[in-house]
Amino acid sequence: MSQAKRLLAAYVGATNAHGTTIVGRVGRNGKAESQSRIVREPLTEELVQGHIDGKRGVGAIPINNDNECKFGAIDVDVYDLNHKELQAKIQKLDLPLLHCRSKSGGAHLYLFLKEFEKAAIVREYLTEMSILLGYSGCEIFPKQDQIIAERGDVGNFINMPYFDAEMPQRFCYNENTEAMELDEFLDAVEKKRTSLAELEAVRATKKMRKHFEDGPPCLRYIFENGPQSEPRNKLLFMIAWYCRNKFPDSWQEALEEYNRTLCSPPLPAKEMATLIGQHEKKDYGPTCKDEPFKSYCDPQLCATARPRLSLQKKWRR
């Protein structure tokens, strides 16, 4: 089977439209200027071969007329992205994603499925993965839960990797964060294909959290994999709010314990005394809109959570 046919099979989706992108100059901020548009014609093997040959870039639309998809992606649109750190996170969390460099230096994290599944369900899984990775709010493809094909709706497209495959700027990283050749990527797609049952198993393991089960979801995600080293002051400031509500009569001791067990290394005693003093003088609210909490924000879970806190205060956002 030709490379073009295999790449087309990997990005199977809408059968009546595709995207095309002409890349221009790269700006000072690292973002490549480009012109993109939807073409209301099928994505064909010939067009994909032209993409591989560097003639004209094409993009695939994940969602089809039945509102199902067989691939999806997390678009991490960060131009100075540390790909080694991101790849390490993907492996540590054991997420079934293939990590590709985008045309502007960010990342497209692809999920390839064994069967067509409902787009809304796939988007839900991808959203959870983006939060686990610390990229809450980034674009998820397919962008729509559903389209109305009868009125001519089509979904949004995402640029395919390996444009000009001999010297690609869009390529997939292996587990050592080294660039794969196109054939290696196509082999990896088949190895990484997953099912909803397998995704649910991943989700189940990620829900086995030990800390902050009745607190802000962002804290649960941040401490998903144990103690953190930075930013300790900001993390403990948010934890102090949690402790004041959860343990009103002994919150200082609880905060000290979290500092010992969840900060590596713990915040020095002098800084802890300052932090405790701030919260003794003023009743602060949660700092959900600040980093690093913003990048781990799970709006859906945050909206439905009901913390079992001793003072029964409202969970202010």
In the chain the domains, ranked by start, together with CATH numbers, are: 3-205 (3.90.920.20), 209-304 (no CATH)
Strand ranges in 212-299 using DSSP code E only, listed in sequence order? none
Grouping H, G, I as helix, E, B as strand and the rest as coil, residue 185 is helix
The secondary element (H helix, E strand) that includes residue 100 is strand 98-101
The answer to whether 90 and 97 have CB atoms below 8 angstroms apart is yes
Output the pLDDT for position 211. Answer: 78
Does residue 118 contact residue 162 with C-beta atoms inside 8 Å?
Answer: no
pTM for the model stands at 0.75
What is the predicted pLDDT for the residue at 97? 98
Residue at token pair 């003023």: 282
Distances in Å between the Cα of 2 and the Cα atoms of 23, 46, 49, 76, 184 are 26, 11, 9, 30, 13
Distance CA 264, CA 88 (A): 19
Q: What is the chain's pLDDT, residue by residue, as a tens digit (317 residues)?
A: 899 999 999 999 999 999 998 766 656 555 556 678 999 999 999 999 999 999 999 999 999 999 999 999 999 998 889 999 999 999 988 999 999 999 889 999 999 999 999 999 999 999 989 988 989 889 999 999 999 999 999 999 999 999 999 999 999 999 999 999 999 999 999 999 999 999 988 776 665 456 787 788 888 888 877 788 889 999 999 999 989 988 898 999 989 989 988 999 999 999 999 999 999 999 888 888 899 998 888 887 777 654 444 433 443 33
Residue 228, helix vs strand vs coil: strand
> Three-state SS across 97-123?
CEEEECCCCCEEEEEEEEEEEEHHHHH
**How far is Cα of residue 131 from the mean position of the Cα atoms in its chain?**
6
